[in-house]
């Protein structure tokens, strides 16, 4: 183990590209600190005694033990650690320390990340993968470039639907509209599915033009998705200029991949990544609405889902029906998960715990209706009667039968 670690340190120390890319990965952590601390976002989530738990960590509420001050202290320590990591990577003699610090801040972020489902997002998913490759994978310089291209290809594949191509999937208004917006959306699909392979070209001018197009795309997206996502992608993409400047005469990666010369480790990670992206297609139903399989894959702006029909119905003595709760509109919920059944499954479980603590044995029924914005009508996502006793489990590996559409819209059901 010690010998392996020393070889990894020497390998990074001997490559200017790897060393400065380590600083870029650490800078993503510093950006995460700013993003999470901005407006008290992380403090609100981690201080919430009714969290939105990941399905694989259903009892995450027991881990929400920090006070607001404790959360802020932990975040500042995380930010200071990220800053120290960046500085350590700037000096060759401190590469070993930098790698230890990068491992530590990555584990710290992961520990906070799994405490609440509201932290999920591609801007964390992709850096986690790339950092793991950087720290652990054999010869990461032979793999990172391919995986970054795979990110774009899988994102482009998700956009092959009418929501994206019409612009309906965008989470905020953009400067373009009408046919120009549709053409821009189509261009993004072509860029991510076809043109992105220019990053692997043997022609230097093709590589630089491609990375330039990606830079323009992410810079433009700033006013739609905010500052964090484009900055993260810019830091991840920094791998290519760093590598090209260090080894300007390197053969094109595309030819190496096609000719079987990319290395077994590269093919293995690409196959594993591709399998993860296919996970949502293995479940029945519309994964954009049911959420099944999406934990394993990228969650891009492939569909915009609406869910104005969520209700918990409590039945009291005499079969009197009371609408207990309707859809929440909270500012700490990302667009991709605001209508996710996992979120509402958590809300129902919280209501059950609260009623049990009060000694209230009233029956609670839970209903969720949702739709893509381009769908003509809402569909039933789940309709679980007596959900506290039924206690449905959200299985991330298999289809959840309780998510099958079984009932008419809520508005009809309650008449």
pLDDT digits over 396-410, tens only?
998 898 986 544 444
Please name the residue that has the structure tokens 């492939």: 302
C-alpha span between 389 and 361 (Å, rounded): 10
C-alpha span between 371 and 374 (Å, rounded): 8
The Cβ of residue 76 has, within 10 Å, a number of other Cβ atoms equal to 12
Which ranges in 14-93 belong to alpha helices (H)?
16-37, 41-46, 68-89
Identify which has the larger pLDDT, 310 or 341. 341
C-alpha span between 280 and 286 (Å, rounded): 9
- Name, of 86-95, 156-165, 292-301, the range with top average pLDDT: 86-95
3-class secondary structure, 383: strand
Q: Are 54 and 117 in contact (CB under 8 A)?
A: yes
The pTM (predicted TM-score) of the whole model is 0.89
Q: Are 159 and 167 in contact (CB under 8 A)?
A: no
Q: Are 364 and 312 in contact (CB under 8 A)?
A: yes
3-class secondary structure, 186: helix
Q: How far is CA 2 from the centre of its chain?
A: 34
* pLDDT higher than threshold 70 for residue 282: yes
* pLDDT higher than threshold 60 for residue 319: no
Q: Are 323 and 313 in contact (CB under 8 A)?
A: yes
End-to-end Cα spacing for the chain? 67
Q: Which residues contact 242 (CB under 8 A, 6 or more apart)?
A: 16, 17, 20, 21, 24
Q: Locate the domains of the chain by residue range.
A: 2-282, 304-413
Looking at residue 415, its pLDDT comes to 35
Question: Residues 6-42: pLDDT tens digits?
Answer: 888 999 999 999 999 999 999 999 999 999 988 788 8
Average of pLDDT values for 333-346? 83
Q: Which of 118-127, 226-235, 292-301 bottoms out in mean pLDDT, i.e. has the lowest?
A: 292-301
Residue 155 structure tokens: 């994102």
Looking at residue 409, its pLDDT comes to 44
Residue 305 structure tokens: 């889902």
Q: How far is CA 410 from the centre of its chain?
A: 30
DSSP 3-state percent helix, strand, coil across the chain (nearest 5): 60, 10, 30
Enter the DSSP assignment of 376. S
Q: Which residues contact 175 (CB under 8 A, 6 or more apart)?
A: 223
Identify which has the larger pLDDT, 5 or 404. 5
As beta bridge partners, residue 370 has: 379
C-alpha span between 258 and 238 (Å, rounded): 24
Categorise residue 121: left if φ over 0, alpha if ψ from -120 to 50, beta otherwise: left
As beta bridge partners, residue 305 has: 372
Biggest CA pair distance of the chain: 81
Angle (CA) 395-399-405 rounded to 5° is 115
**Phi, psi (deg, nearest 5) at residue 376:** -75, -25
- Name, of 58-62, 114-118, 280-284, 298-302, the range with top average pLDDT: 114-118
Dihedral, CA atoms, 212, 214, 216, 219, nearest 10 degrees?
-130
- Name, of 139-143, 217-221, 257-261, the range with top average pLDDT: 217-221
Average of pLDDT values for 222-246? 94
Strands (E), 282-342: 305-315, 321-326
C-alpha span between 153 and 147 (Å, rounded): 10
Helix pair angle (228-237, 122-136), 10° resolution: 20
Looking at residue 38, its pLDDT comes to 83
């Amino acid at each position: 183990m010690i010998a392996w670690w020393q070889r990894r340190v020497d390998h990074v120390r001997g490559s200017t590209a790897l060393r400065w890319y380590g600083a870029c990965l650490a800078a993503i952590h510093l950006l995460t600190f700013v993003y999470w601390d901005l407006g008290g976002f992380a403090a609100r989530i981690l201080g919430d005694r009714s969290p939105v738990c990941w399905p694989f960590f259903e009892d995450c509420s027991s881990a929400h033990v920090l006070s607001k001050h404790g959360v802020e202290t932990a975040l500042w320590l995380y930010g200071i650690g990220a800053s120290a990591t960046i500085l350590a990577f700037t000096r060759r003699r401190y590469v070993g320390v930098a790698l230890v610090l990068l491992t530590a801040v990555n584990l710290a972020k992961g520990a906070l990340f799994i405490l609440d489902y509201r932290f999920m997002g591609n801007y964390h998913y992709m850096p986690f993968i790339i950092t793991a490759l950087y720290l652990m994978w054999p010869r990461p310089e032979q793999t990172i470039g391919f995986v970054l291209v795979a990110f774009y290809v899988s994102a482009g594949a998700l956009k092959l639907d009418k929501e994206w191509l019409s612009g309906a999937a965008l989470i905020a208004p953009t400067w373009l509209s009408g046919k120009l917006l549709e053409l821009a959306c189509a261009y993004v699909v072509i860029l991510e599915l076809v043109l992105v392979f220019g990053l692997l070209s043997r022609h230097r001018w093709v590589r630089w033009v491609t990375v330039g197009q990606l830079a323009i795309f992410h810079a433009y997206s700033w006013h739609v998705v905010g500052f964090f996502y484009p900055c993260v992608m810019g830091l991840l993409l920094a791998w290519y200029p760093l590598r090209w400047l260090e080894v300007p005469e390197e053969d094109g990666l595309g030819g190496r991949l096609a000719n079987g010369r990319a290395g077994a480790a590269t093919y293995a990670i690409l196959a594993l990544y591709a399998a993860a992206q296919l996970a949502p297609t293995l479940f029945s139903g519309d994964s954009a609405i049911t959420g099944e399989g999406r934990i394993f894959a990228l969650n891009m702006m492939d569909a915009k889902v609406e869910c104005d029909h969520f209700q918990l119905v409590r039945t009291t003595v005499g079969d009197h029906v009371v609408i207990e709760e309707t859809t929440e509109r909270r500012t700490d919920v990302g667009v991709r998960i605001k209508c996710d059944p996992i979120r509402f499954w958590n809300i129902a479980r919280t209501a059950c715990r609260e009623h049990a603590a009060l000694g209230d044995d009233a029956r609670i029924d839970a209903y969720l209706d949702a739709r893509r914005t381009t769908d003509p009508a809402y569909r039933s996502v789940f309709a679980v009667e007596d959900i506290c006793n039924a206690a449905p489990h959200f299985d991330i590996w298999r289809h959840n039968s309780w998510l099958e559409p079984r009932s008419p819209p809520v508005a009809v059901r309650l008449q």
